Structure 1
Amino acid sequence: MLWDHPPVAGKWSDPRAFDEEALDDFDLWTTRAALESLVDEALGETSIRHTLRREDLAGSDAREALLENETLLAKLRMLQDQVAAEGDAGFRPRTRPIRIGGLGWLAVPALFAVGYLTLLVAAWDAMPVFLRIFTVLALPCGLAAVTARVLRQVATLRAQFTPGPAEFGEEQLGLGHRREFALREIVLPEIRDYLVAHRRLYYGTKLVFEKQRDLYEENSDRIVPTPAAKRLRRILDRAGSGAVALGGQRGSGKSTAILSLQRGLIHGTENPAPLVVLAAAPADYDARDFVLHLHSLLCQTVLERLRADLPPIEDWRTWLRRGARRLAGLTGSAAVAWLLGGWLWDGPFLHFPAELWQLLAQVRFPDLIGPLWTDQPAGNRIAVLVLALLALVEAVQLLSLPVAVLVAAVRHRHNAELHALRADAHQQLDRIRYLLTHTSGWSGKLLLPAGADLGRTRSTQRARQQLTHPEVVTEFRTFAEQTAARLRDGGITERLVVAIDELDKIGEPDKAQQLVNDIKGIFGVPGCLYLVSVSDDALLSLEQRGLAVRDAMDSAFSELVRLEPFTLDESRLWITERLPRVPEQFCHLGHCLSGGLPRDLRRTTIDMVDVTAELYEPSLSAVTAILVRAELTAKATTFTGQARTLEQTGELTELWTKLLRIPETHESVELAALAAGLHEGATNDIGDPVNLLRHHSSAFVLFCATVLELFTDALTEDRLTPALHQLAVARRYLALDPHLAWATLTDFRKAHDLELPE
């Protein structure tokens, strides 16, 4: 059970529980009634029940917490106001409807049982032995099926006739057609947040976990509900057109968000998943060619979607083949009917068709039972019954063919716009791929006297000229607008999304801005939303709105969504979704080593799991030492490689000697001392490459020393505080500002009573 006591109609959900206080605030009463109804339905879902049972949580506690959630109550109140403004009916109490149509289904099993037993008794003497055995064995099976059908129907009727509290329909809860939206978008997220906040935590310094799930899948369905993902959902629900910039640090999950959108994992429940066209921004581009590439991808995506959602067009050859198969089936059924009927018929086998025809010719409506059943021996009755069943089946099969033709014609007419869109997409794709060439001409010859002749030929060749960039943009906008409108009218999807990924990977910010400036003419198509991943430099220009300078980025995008690195709780949720029952110490370790960046968090978690392939239940100290040693080795190679490219000086030679000691140093105290040595002599002159290398290397070594000192087998539950998130912040600063990373690390070590580097 979900709760300790069964959910019954409470003081808010039972219309008979009206009191003076409820009448004084009727709106609040209806909101609480809607909330209780939705919470009970949500807690009854299989996934929620399974999670409650797995986390050993009481459903009654979750129900009570949700019903007391004032924020949840306010969201439902606002939704009810929106529905009322749209003209939906308000609260109308009604009693439970009584449906008596189910009573007729009780007679069908009873008639079947009586008819079967009557036929069995009447034909028993005429049946061969094997048929008697078959009918006897089939009797208990038939009785069991009939009994099960009767019991199910009786239970349904009992529930209908049992008096109880009034049911609440959509009009009674004040949610109208948006009740499903309230359940999926308001109540269920709150329940999941409650489950996350109250989930069972595991502590320990041994790396143990249940079977891993989707750890090696980059496109997993287990999405962490970050604020950026929620905002993207809101944008999809409200935005009819426009361009949205999707920014964030490298590895923050921009590509994952776009792929999740393409797979239909990020969208509201009221609308179907959008049709997403995904394109990668080219490093070396031509604006005209890139727009043509987008046009081609749009055509291909539309054709793939219509191929999945529209039935194929069947020509007259297909229907002819179906008709031939039906006739072949009819011939085979006639042969089977002759064999079975002749074998069961009370008379010579070869005389069966003629005798059956004579019998049917003597039958006069409405007296059918007597000549065909009562006056016939048992064998003839069974033969007539078998033939009647075969005739019924064949009649249905033959009638299904013209019905299918009619249904296909109606469906084709209903989907005429979508079929036109498919044809248009094929035509557009051909125009993009090929240069159309057409040749026409005429020639003639006129014979003159004395053997002379006169002739003339003329030939013209027409080749379609390449479209200019404005013409390409116009063609794309026209087709995209028509596509969005036809898909919406055809019930396929409400939104067309064109996602341009990897724009932030263009090395030069000016080049990326120039690309956006060249293609922004395709933005603003009605029903088409553009989503473009941009770099942090581009985000800076967007965040400086209000200043006198406006660049291509600012003028192109109407909205900005920034993907921030994971918080500590989000990283813990990501890891525990893939490694159930993993101790919290290892979740904190993965967050700190990755800096909260989703891409690095996945790599770090995989590295932790790989340690278990070599060591049985490795300790926290062992896992930390292995991961940090791998980091030190990789970074030391990078630092020495950078040093080789610099001009050789005495200062660089001294620094190089210390850099070579990095992969050989494993103890935290020695690493801290090495970090102090690397940082010795550092200045604020970031223009000096040797000084910049000194800052980068010293900050990274100090970070590794801090991780080694902190994540040991002595790290107990009480020491796992939110302050550990500062280590992840310092990890992110290493790639952005080594000065700030060094300062953050020294502050962290001072707060945790760790020895400061001198």
Structure 2
Amino acid sequence: MLRLQAWVELWGARALDFLSGSDKDGIYHRCVLAALDDPETARLLDKREGVTRDAVLERMRTVTYHRYATIRCPSLPFDEAVEKLDEIQDEHERAARETQWNWRVVCSLIVLGALAVLIFGGPFALLIAVLAAAAVMFTLFWRGSTAWFNLRQCLVAAALGVAWLVQRFEVGVCAARWGEDLQERGTGPVVADLVRHLLGDDPDSLFIPDDYEWGLRAPRAPGYVVENGARRQLERKLTHLEDGTIAVCGPRGAGKTTLLEQCVKKAGFGVIVQAPATYTPHDFLLSLSVQLCEKYMRDQGYDPPEFAQLSPVRKLLRRVRFQAKRLGRWSSFAVPAAALLVLGLSASVRSLYEQYATSVSDFVRTHTDAIRDDVIAIWQGHAVVASVTITFGGIAWWQARHAAWLPRMLGRLWMRGIRRIGLLLAWASAATVLLDEQIRQQALHLHRTQPEALYQTVAYTGALMAVWWLLRLARDSGVEFPLGRWHVSLEKIFRPLAAAAGTYLLLYLIDNPQTHTLLADPENPLRLAGIIAGVLVSKAGDWHPQPEEPELVTRCRTHLYRLQTIQQATHGLTTGGAAQILSLGTNHTTSVSTVPPNYPELVEEFRELLKYIAAEKVGDGKTVLIAIDEVDRLGADTEALAFLREIKAILGVPLVHYLISVAEDVGAAFVRRGLPHRDVTDSSLDDVIHVQPSTLKESRAILAKRSQRLKGPHVMLAHALSGGVLRDLLRYGLQLREIQDKTQSYELTHISRHLILEELAETFAGFRTLLSKQQWTHDTSSVLASFRTLCGYLRDPCPCVEADMLQTLEQFAFYSEGPRSRPVDAGDPPHVPADPDLSSEARQLIDEASTYAYFSLTLLDIFSTEGLERRTQLAAEQGPDGDPERLADARQELGISPYSARPLIDTVRKAWSLPLGPTPGGRVPPQAVDCPRHRRPVIE
């Protein structure tokens, strides 16, 4: 639909420019309007004061911008064509002025007279009239009559008029080409640059979202995966390792699950399983074994067995009902079709049978008698050589029962031979039409008596067949295109049209007198029967017996039955005399029930089964990969290591790669291998991949693929808040859209302010919950009260208290406990001594909350102040500390320790020229507005 709209707009613009002709100003004005209607430019209009459509249009009408836009697109061919058009027009007007007659009337009378002579007299009369007119004109010329001069000038004016039309067409073509070039290389870029110039500082900070952005609304939607260093490194290791176990470690939300899913999808045969929250190795291995067997059976084209909770009777009834529905649907088409075929071809088949039945039966009887005589001779011992030959033949046939070449050769002979025989029969039956003498005589008779009707019938029939064939091609193309909320398929549109065209073609052939006589040939039903028989015989070549179930599939099916069912067998024996009433009998019953495999046995069966599967898949050039995800959700690293210790028995299968998603501490334990500290990772893991948080460049690529409206400043904000963690990065990208919808503001300064304060409020609410679990006294409750006041400001802020909120936040952000790690400068806040009554846990929580407030205050100072692009460049000149990547580093450092994060934030603030202490006199809100809740003005 979008392509159709673009095509219509393109040709509409060409048509307007063609009609404009030499009006270059009109073409320029049209190109400016088209540039303003461009979606990327139109979405920026009316978002800031003074940036309107009329303002841009007025600027583009000035001489400076007109020249700047048109100088990019040379118009020399266009100007030459316009100049030549003006010359022809001047000559045409001069010729029209020199004659005393009206050249339009004279030329019209000449043309009308010529047409009248041609219509009523024919070409020969027109030739005579032209010769007569030439003789008259020559006589007038010889005498020097004024009539000749006036007539000549009228003809010259008419000829110049035709030349003017041709040149006008050329001018229109040149105008359309120049207008298209001007719109693409001239007004388009110039208008876009002018709009960005009028927007002022930070035009990319405007966040104008689309109505619906699927990439942000569906974080796990396929098609948005971006290559990163961890994935490339993992693929290299999988390529170089024949088998082994690789741990994938990293912080939660960094994309470990996505990485495992992509590797399993790319592998030739892969299974991904989730580690249980409360692990039991037996249940985990049982689930993995079931998934492995089901995956392999589906990969081979077999359905795994279903263990439905239904009685045998209900299963039987369901199967009977399903088969009855299939038989009913098949019969509803097969029975009427067979009845129609029998009715249409019965007479021809009966005549064919009566004609050849006797000779065929005599042939079969003769050869049957000969074969019978040979068998009797061999049986009676009269044909010794034949006896020896067939004996060796029987031995060879028995020996060939294990050879695969013989059934394969017979199958190929059947498929190729029967198909060619069927096609030969069908084509031979159709070719008899050309050899039928009666049809040939009828065709010659029609050609001699009604040639025009015959040619018309052939042409019309060919046209109908071409239309029917094109409709069938469109029906079978499989093309689908969106139309609003629906997806339109060409198959649904052209299927009834193709059927209607075929039906109309058949009816036309039946009703047409010329073709009706040809269709009425008495041998046509017999030919049709031969064609149908040939097609059916060729279709029989596609039949092949159902292949035997592979041994490994059977083994997987048996393994599934053993893992998921309890099998019980009962054998009974009853003995007694013939007379049941008088005899005595005994009844013996034996019950056998399978024992579920224990853990060592289950491990052995799993390894053996996986070894066979890997050998088969690797032989086909495929890789086998088992991915175990969510091991890091088991809890502490000791529990994860215990889980690895328990499932270590299933690792190390030849030709099989294992990928295990673990937490960072487990990966750190593996990195320390060879040191005095040793654990299960030394012998369980072969390598480790660290999935690090994404860099700012990778974050740009990730968000750019999911949303075209998130520009550089928005990505920098989301990257800083998330610390590069993929899950949080997508969440903040979506929150930007939510905040914009909530505030109805397009400025990053407003959106970032609300987003940072909302995140700060939610984080402080969590800290307050944790602080409530500590022991507080009357002397230490002031800290908790100050914390509650700040939480109240953040939870429901309003403009009239925003200054107090910022001042309180600033004081809390610069609060720190314990000895300071940097010297006290003149601008530093007064040191708050450690309160001995505070517990160490409470003091730790307050320091963490204070450092997070310090980080949030830094983001507020950077993103909620205008001139972000300029200040980013100035900060980058201060060295690595001014790199926006350091903001994400500080966010990551907050997850390690507040005491190491605070000095890092100090260096960032220095690079961005931000104060390292409370602002003297307090902070002023960035925008003074009236408070809608308390109805009082905010004093600036």
Change over 3 Å in CA distance of 1:393–1:756 after alignment to 2: farther
700-709 vs 611-620, which deviates more? 611-620
Secondary structure of the structure 2 residue equivalent to 1:566: coil
The corresponding residue for 2:733 is 605
The corresponding residue for 2:258 is 256
The corresponding residue for 1:588 is 716
Query: Is residue 432 of structure 1 aligned with residue 596 of structure 2?
Result: no
Q: How far does the alpha carbon of each residue in 1:648-686 deviate from its partner, in whole angstroms, 9 at most, with x for none? A: 235652321232133315665542222123654469999
- Counting only pairs closer than 5 Å after superposition, residues 218-297 of structure 1 correspond to structure 2 as 218-262=220-264, 264=265, 267=266, 273-297=267-291
Deviation at 1:355, TM superposition (A): 10
In 1, the alpha carbon distance for the partners of 2:732 and 2:433 equals 85
Change over 3 Å in CA distance of 1:533–1:367 after alignment to 2: closer
Q: How far does the alpha carbon of each residue in 1:177-216 deviate from its partner, in whole angstroms, 9 at most, with x for none? A: xxxxxxxxxxxxxxxxxxxxxxxxx952211245624212
Q: How far does the alpha carbon of each residue in 1:278-310 deviate from its partner, in whole angstroms, 9 at most, with x for none? A: 211112222222211110111222233334899
In 2, the alpha carbon distance for the partners of 1:444 and 1:401 equals 57
In 2, the alpha carbon distance for the partners of 1:443 and 1:568 equals 82
In 2, the alpha carbon distance for the partners of 1:334 and 1:444 equals 59
Q: Answer whether contact 2:573 2:589 (CA < 8 A) is retained.
A: yes
In 2, the alpha carbon distance for the partners of 1:214 and 1:373 equals 68
Change over 3 Å in CA distance of 1:389–1:625 after alignment to 2: farther
Question: What letter is aligned with 2:846?
Answer: R
Question: What letter is aligned with 1:755?
Answer: P
In 2, the alpha carbon distance for the partners of 1:328 and 1:487 equals 48
Question: What letter is aligned with 2:884?
Answer: L
Deviation at 1:748, TM superposition (A): 1.0
Change over 3 Å in CA distance of 1:288–1:620 after alignment to 2: same
Change over 3 Å in CA distance of 1:439–1:608 after alignment to 2: same
In 1, the alpha carbon distance for the partners of 2:760 and 2:622 equals 51
Match of 1:300 among 287, 294, 297: 294
Deviation at 1:573, TM superposition (A): 1.3
Deviation at 1:251, TM superposition (A): 1.2
Deviation at 1:712, TM superposition (A): 2.5
Q: How far does the alpha carbon of each residue in 1:532-572 deviate from its partner, in whole angstroms, 9 at most, with x for none? A: 11111111111112213321122101111110001001111
In 1, the alpha carbon distance for the partners of 2:861 and 2:610 equals 58
Q: Answer whether contact 2:246 2:658 (CA < 8 A) is retained.
A: yes
Match of 1:497 among 605, 625, 630: 625
Deviation at 1:501, TM superposition (A): 0.9
In 1, the alpha carbon distance for the partners of 2:539 and 2:914 equals 83
The corresponding residue for 2:776 is 648
In 2, the alpha carbon distance for the partners of 1:572 and 1:754 equals 26
Match of 1:740 among 894, 900, 903: 900
The corresponding residue for 2:537 is 399
Secondary structure of the structure 2 residue equivalent to 1:215: helix
| RMSD after superposition | 4.3
Question: What letter is aligned with 1:734?
Answer: L
Q: Answer whether contact 1:620 1:713 (CA < 8 A) is retained.
A: no
Query: Is residue 381 of structure 1 aligned with residue 533 of structure 2?
Result: no
Match of 2:638 among 507, 510, 518: 510
In 2, the alpha carbon distance for the partners of 1:366 and 1:605 equals 74
Query: Is residue 520 of structure 1 aligned with residue 648 of structure 2?
Result: yes
TM-score by length of 2: 0.50
Match of 1:557 among 667, 678, 685: 685
In 1, the alpha carbon distance for the partners of 2:576 and 2:342 equals 69
Query: Is residue 698 of structure 1 aligned with residue 699 of structure 2?
Result: no
Secondary structure of the structure 2 residue equivalent to 1:662: helix
Change over 3 Å in CA distance of 1:395–1:291 after alignment to 2: same
Q: How far does the alpha carbon of each residue in 1:216-273 deviate from its partner, in whole angstroms, 9 at most, with x for none? A: 22133211211101122223434332111010011111112223334x3xx4xxxxx4
In 1, the alpha carbon distance for the partners of 2:519 and 2:741 equals 70
In 2, the alpha carbon distance for the partners of 1:244 and 1:515 equals 15
- Counting only pairs closer than 5 Å after superposition, residues 34-183 of structure 1 correspond to structure 2 as none
Q: Answer whether contact 2:753 2:864 (CA < 8 A) is retained.
A: no
Deviation at 1:527, TM superposition (A): 2.9
Match of 2:340 among 332, 348, 370: 332
Change over 3 Å in CA distance of 1:646–1:427 after alignment to 2: same
Match of 1:463 among 588, 593, 617: 593
Q: Answer whether contact 1:678 1:697 (CA < 8 A) is retained.
A: no
Indicate the structure with greater helix content: 2
In 2, the alpha carbon distance for the partners of 1:355 and 1:709 equals 101
Q: Answer whether contact 2:254 2:692 (CA < 8 A) is retained.
A: yes
Question: What letter is aligned with 2:904?
Answer: T
Deviation at 1:607, TM superposition (A): 0.6
Question: What letter is aligned with 2:850?
Answer: S
Question: What letter is aligned with 1:204?
Answer: D
Secondary structure of the structure 2 residue equivalent to 1:440: strand
The corresponding residue for 2:208 is 208
* Identity within the alignment, %: 25
Q: Answer whether contact 2:215 2:707 (CA < 8 A) is retained.
A: no
Question: What letter is aligned with 1:304?
Answer: R
Question: What letter is aligned with 2:561?
Answer: D
Secondary structure of the structure 1 residue equivalent to 2:245: strand
Query: Is residue 369 of structure 1 aligned with residue 439 of structure 2?
Result: no
Question: What letter is aligned with 2:440?
Answer: T
The corresponding residue for 1:543 is 671
- Number of equivalent positions: 525
Change over 3 Å in CA distance of 1:588–1:400 after alignment to 2: same
The corresponding residue for 2:913 is 753
The corresponding residue for 1:614 is 742
In 1, the alpha carbon distance for the partners of 2:779 and 2:234 equals 51
In 2, the alpha carbon distance for the partners of 1:684 and 1:397 equals 98
Deviation at 1:329, TM superposition (A): 4.0
Question: What letter is aligned with 1:576?
Answer: A
Secondary structure of the structure 2 residue equivalent to 1:754: coil
Quick check: which has more Rg, 1 or 2? Answer: 2
The corresponding residue for 2:886 is 726
Q: Answer whether contact 1:643 1:652 (CA < 8 A) is retained.
A: no
In 1, the alpha carbon distance for the partners of 2:236 and 2:837 equals 45
Which ranges in structure 1 are unaligned for 5 or more consecutive residues? Answer: 1-53, 56-201, 268-272, 311-315, 339-350
The corresponding residue for 1:45 is none
Q: Answer whether contact 2:618 2:624 (CA < 8 A) is retained.
A: no
In 1, the alpha carbon distance for the partners of 2:665 and 2:517 equals 90
In 1, the alpha carbon distance for the partners of 2:595 and 2:892 equals 52
Q: Answer whether contact 2:566 2:594 (CA < 8 A) is retained.
A: yes
Change over 3 Å in CA distance of 1:446–1:405 after alignment to 2: closer
Secondary structure of the structure 2 residue equivalent to 1:421: helix
The corresponding residue for 1:638 is 766
Deviation at 1:275, TM superposition (A): 2.6
Q: How far does the alpha carbon of each residue in 1:692-746 deviate from its partner, in whole angstroms, 9 at most, with x for none? A: 1122101111111111110025233343457111111111222222211112111
Secondary structure of the structure 1 residue equivalent to 2:249: strand
